[in-house]
Structure 1
């Protein structure tokens, strides 16, 4: 029993240290370009040694990879709607943007850095996937029409749309959410108006 308890405590300490280091790199990424973040910076902010960081993540690249994977899990969890209605999807999205939107915008401004571009490319892929899953049931089955409407929904819910309203216009969070939802409803109205696919006539035997 004491041995089991000791192993459990050690595992908890290891996980806590790992979380501290990941929190540190996210905090640094909010204030400076990724290219300028060093292991010394991360270790100092996390309150650990560089050797501890290396022991957990292997290298600076390993740390960045772990941070991206951690962020991906958080994004998927945060954006998960509480129900099928567009308003619920938008509420989850805006909640995510309120927490991470400014950091995402900082990363998008660093896309000349190949590593950062890989991160933002993943983010764009996840956003399009979220749109297709969140609003898919309302979209027509015709592939071309469906794809065009997904394009419009991606634009209407993009982080830059949030920035224009929330940061540039300085609107409140509820007002920002309401305007984004109005855009989504307008696009989904097009989806509802899309003609149903023609069905082939059934042949009857003479």
Structure 2
């Protein structure tokens, strides 16, 4: 039974991975079960036996993708350099795919759901990873600082630096670290220092 269960899980994993791979090559609306079956090396009947329908398959693929993203982005809490290295790792692997999904969100409900989930995951990652820094921020300012940290570590920031500016990875990480550190420093300095800086 254990061997059979492992084989079933491996087949499911291969099918779900095939959905994600195909979504990097064509619009989600264009992907049909036959495409997935061919990529996964299974039959359409096998897919339907595991997931029930195309919608069931894509729902499962979205949840699978969420788990993969969360796993890939685990970083030491409070360690800014490690956090930036981790999120850049993630974008190096998936950033172009994410940008492709973002380009479909206004025309495809499925893509809109995927990127919406991604935004939630990213904000949760910021709140968790930078928790020690955020705890030093006045409560009234905390949500605004989370917003700034989300922007500093967002996939669009990575794209601007890596794709639009054509910077190397090291320079990209350095600029993102500078942004994050500047946000944290500004948000956690004493109020009197902030007032003096504003005068």
**TM-score, normalisation: structure 2:** 0.90
Structure 1 residue runs of 4 or more that deviate by more than 4 Å after TM superposition: none
Look up the match of 1:48.
Answer: 42
Question: Larger C-alpha radius of gyration, 1 or 2?
Answer: 1
Matching of residue 95 in structure 1 with residue 89 in structure 2: yes
Out of 148, 151, 155, which is 2:151 matched to? 155
Matching of residue 35 in structure 1 with residue 29 in structure 2: yes
Contact kept in structure 2, 1:91 and 1:177, CA below 8 Å: yes
3-state secondary structure, aligned to 1:170:
coil
The 1:194/1:58 distance shift into structure 2, 3 A limit, reads: farther
Look up the match of 2:196.
Answer: none
Deviations for 1:120-140, whole angstroms, at most 9, x for unmatched residues? Answer: 111101111111111122124
Q: How far apart are the structure 2 equivalents of 1:148 and 1:172? A: 30
Contact kept in structure 1, 2:77 and 2:132, CA below 8 Å: no
Matching of residue 122 in structure 1 with residue 144 in structure 2: no
Gapped runs of 5+ residues in structure 2? 193-199
The number of residues matched between the two structures is 190
Superposition map of 1:61-72 within 5 A:
61-72=55-66
Q: CA deviation at 1:11?
A: 1.3
Q: How far apart are the structure 2 equivalents of 1:124 and 1:194? A: 31
Look up the match of 1:85.
Answer: 79
